[in-house]
């Protein structure tokens, strides 16, 4: 699986550090790709707020590599479920970044993605500046499962950045899945006091367009560009 750092200039690429082990959030395994860094948060900001959709397949290559390295074995039989936005927020933004990431991972690993299984039925405030208690209250009853869980499926909840785990926990609770058959897949598992918006570095150099330059590689961890 390719990990195409060539999307960035060398100086900015050097600011991204890969994780070395899976963590835990919301009492389930949390599989992340990157350590929390200002340069990473700047890229996430570019995806979410600047409309740089081409970052999703690039991020997807890293997520897929992390899932293969740290995720459940076998990966086959897993179902990717993106954390949904409230319909009003998604209409304003024009897309759900978690759904774009899930779709990219699904393409790389041949896994199904279900964007309709989990719904966000209540609009919530941003979690970034809330304390842990307020975060849990903020997302309480914010999600609803829209149908039955596929029999025997392992649920992989996909989000961009996980901080306290309150959002993921509320989403998993709404899904009602067995914690032993669930995990979170995210770009970064940051500290609960981290505000990615305030720590994003300005001036990260992204080489664009890039979506067409991605391809899977047989050797995980090697940068590979299409010829």
Q: Where are the domains of the chain?
A: 5-211
Average predicted confidence (pLDDT) for the chain: 83
Percent of the chain that is helix, strand, coil (3-state, to 5) = 35, 20, 45
Whole-number Å distance between alpha carbons of 189 and 201: 18
Q: CA-CA distances (angstroms) from residue 40 to 8, 26, 117, 172, 194?
A: 11, 23, 29, 26, 13
**Which of 3, 26, 7 is closest to 139 using CA atoms?**
26
Q: What per-residue confidence (pLDDT) applies to 192?
A: 60
Under DSSP, is residue 43 helix (H, G, I), strand (E, B) or coil? helix
- State how far Cα 187 lies from the chain centre: 5
Q: What are the start-end ranges of the H helices in the chain? A: 10-13, 38-49, 55-70, 87-93, 97-109, 132-138, 166-175, 196-199
C-alpha triplet 47, 82, 206: angle, nearest 5°: 15
Q: CA-CA distances (angstroms) from residue 127 to 102, 123, 166, 167?
A: 21, 12, 9, 8
Residue 34: in which H helix or E strand, if any? strand 28-34
Q: Spell out, as residue ranges, where the chain has pLDDT lower than 70.
A: 1-7, 9-11, 125, 128, 131, 192-227
Look up residue 157 and give its two tokens: 């909840």
Cβ density class 107-143: b for 16+ within 10 Å, e for less: bbbebebbeebbbbeeebeebeebeeeebbebbeebb
Q: What per-residue confidence (pLDDT) applies to 205?
A: 59
Encode pLDDT of 138-149 as tens digits. 788 999 999 999
Asked whether the CA dihedral 27, 31, 187, 144 is positive or negative, the reply is negative
Look up residue 5 and give its two tokens: 């750092």
Encode pLDDT of 147-168 as tens digits. 999 998 999 999 999 998 999 9
């Amino acid at each position: 699986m390719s990990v195409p750092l060539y999307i960035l200039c060398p100086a900015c690429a050097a600011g991204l550090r890969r994780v070395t082990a899976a963590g835990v959030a919301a009492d389930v395994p949390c599989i992340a790709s990157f350590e929390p860094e200002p340069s990473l948060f700047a890229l996430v900001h570019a995806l979410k707020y600047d409309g740089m959709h081409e970052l999703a397949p690039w991020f997807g290559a890293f997520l897929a590599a992390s899932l293969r390295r740290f995720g459940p074995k076998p990966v086959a039989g897993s179902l990717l479920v993106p954390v949904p936005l409230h319909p009003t927020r998604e209409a304003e933004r024009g897309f759900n970044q978690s759904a774009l990431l899930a779709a990219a991972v699904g393409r790389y690993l041949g896994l199904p993605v279900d964007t309709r299984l989990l719904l966000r039925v209540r609009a919530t405030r941003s979690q970034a500046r809330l304390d842990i208690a307020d975060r849990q209250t903020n997302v309480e009853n914010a999600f609803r499962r829209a149908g039955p869980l596929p029999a025997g499926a392992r649920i992989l909840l996909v989000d961009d950045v996980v901080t306290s785990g309150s959002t993921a926990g509320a989403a998993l609770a709404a899904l009602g899945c067995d914690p032993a058959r669930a995990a979170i897949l995210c770009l970064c598992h940051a500290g609960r006091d981290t505000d990615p918006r305030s720590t994003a570095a300005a001036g990260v150099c992204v080489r664009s367009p890039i979506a067409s330059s991605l391809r899977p590689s047989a050797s995980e961890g090697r940068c590979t560009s299409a010829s």
